[in-house]
Amino acid sequence: MPILTKQFYAHEKGNHDETFYSLARDTDTGRVFVLKQWYRREDVGEKEMTVPEFLEATKNESASHRFLDMIGALATNPYT
């Protein structure tokens, strides 16, 4: 199952403390989700979230603002 991703947020504090969010799509099923990946000294992992789960978990945070900016950029002027 090939997964296509587009990273929209990276938070890198240094000292091996990093978090990344990507919009992802499973090309076999068409399922769209947000992929969270983190790298910390003690912990490395990833988590798949539905878009509503992501927005609820990150409301009022930079990651959700970046996500909404990316989605908004997809809307174009209907007269062009």
pLDDT value for 6: 95
Q: Domain-by-domain residue ranges, the chain?
A: 3-73
- Are 64 and 54 a contacting pair, CB within 8 Å? yes
Say what the pLDDT of residue 77 is: 66
Q: Using a cut of 0.75, tell me whether the model's pTM lies above it.
A: yes
| Rounded (10°) CA dihedral 18, 50, 48, 39 | 10
Burial of 39 from C-beta contacts in 10 A (0-12 / 13-18 / 19+) = middle
In angstroms, rounded to a whole number, what is the distance separating the alpha carbons of residues 40 and 18? 6
Partners of 49 in beta bridges: 34
* pLDDT, mean of each 10-residue run, the chain (80 residues): 92 84 96 94 92 94 93 76
